[in-house]
Chains A and B, each alone.
Chain A
């Protein structure tokens, strides 16, 4: 099992803030909007350095999505910022009609996704956002795994012409991907080549998958671990190549099992290559208050859950 060096421990939302700040310097077309969560979204630096390109919209997310759609018409590239819950479910019809159906080049940047939002509880912990957004025709859905990758993804989506949903989180997590990486939308990243089971993980669960890989190696199991940072478009080729070798699958995500990464991979494999698959995610439940670590444990989103799923998948071969 390959060793990964933890450079530091940082929140992915700060990766977004760093990426946006860099875009402010390099791309004059980039503008930003925020719904009264500038500090939480780490958009302060952009706001300070480019006040003429930053729009505080107040607690009015529906309007924010419409204004963003309008800004694209003059050739600008708007990045909207609020929590994932308010970036998706609250404004679904605005995104559907004014952005997705209208083909507008809006970057919907969503923080505090999943249970790791923590103490605020289920009202703020959206676990359905990937599903909501991936169902919209033409919407790109990205969930990077650490600070460096979130920064790189933020920079990359400015170069892509079309609507994008970029999902990231609140807690500090191991930052282990390369600081100078070039982010390629839709390109799965091989983290560890293996032969016994394919583990496809996204977002915060990528590091958990690496931890699981080490635990499995102690049991003599050689897991292939792939970071699926882009849920849509899905890297079908990378998934099929891996599974054709390992013959069984585990998916891992901080999201409902319904509608998430695992759901997308099940759809692919049931059509192209039906094989044993186990899924780690939240099983048709809302979250609750607690620390991020407590919640990850309670909702079965730990490395050990991935290990157990892998053993089960292997036993079903």
Chain B
């Protein structure tokens, strides 16, 4: 049962060869047994999950079940869930119980999904290692061959990625601001999709950087992601940046093939420091698509190298403002003090971790008077140039193929101390976020030490279907069936 994909589980539920209660119990006990070693979940909600599973079974018995009826999922603890603690992995929201449901999770619930609990992440989604969580780091279920070193799952959706990889959920929700779905998906050997900005509503999702944040699915396969995205996506009048377009049946695009597809290979992504085995895997991916009838085109995205600094200025500026609301007055933790200013200072110092405080400081600095033009405004202009790079590339190609990350997962203690070095993990994922175009990561192979590596496909605005079609060709060619060391099945 642990090795079921979401699609297979859905089939089994529909044919009544499996009940949602059985499936849900299986995952709850797997979490209980194995999550101690992984820490993928911040909160597990067994009782509501079992209750929902019983209701789902009743619906399934009637034969009129909605799309995701009875399928157990994990929810990144950045999506507000009504009546269930939502922490953003921060001490400042340690006991926060939202009286409202995010649009994305509402959509999933309306389609009958079962929530097992809330998955771990970098505090306020700020990080690419999942080591900044106030609820402890997440451990990647994968191990290097012959090593017990604990590896990072990537971030910020590290708990969501690890939960899927370890068989602790059929699928999970993630959010991606600069690579927070794709990079952990690559590190954990799973599939993750960051849709076009505006495809999934941001209503009820705790904001990191509003102009970049985008929710998306994380699961074992592209088919699973297609099923989840169809439910998560959609227009929401409560989000002014939501785009009013019909949601296609992504599943129907999966088997379209890659014949005639023009695949761009951006030359700027082939950096001097790119490890040989990642470059080789990238070439392999190119070959898979070429063999399927795609035309491979060399393209240039000249402003690629400016993506990361631009991203950090824009994201941190927005974050510094978005996180101003955590002041200990209306919700969240509070440190009592004699004056209002002291209350703010003490509350925010105690409530936010070091990385969050560092980013708020940076963001405050780049917006401050006298620096706004030099930093924030300039970054938004460079962002326009990055967007133009993509738009002009997409005049000649249909998708872009790149590696997802410049390395495989690294060990907790190998985490660089220089923040800039950590930020470099996002170098391949950030540009698509800056432009708002959709992108996905799929597991394509293992490195020398047996760790998964991902490849990234980037598409035109709202052409997620093309990504699913091209990705499916690669998924079949890669035949990635490897499982991590810590896996609900293997560890049992």
Q: Is the A/B pair a real complex?
A: no
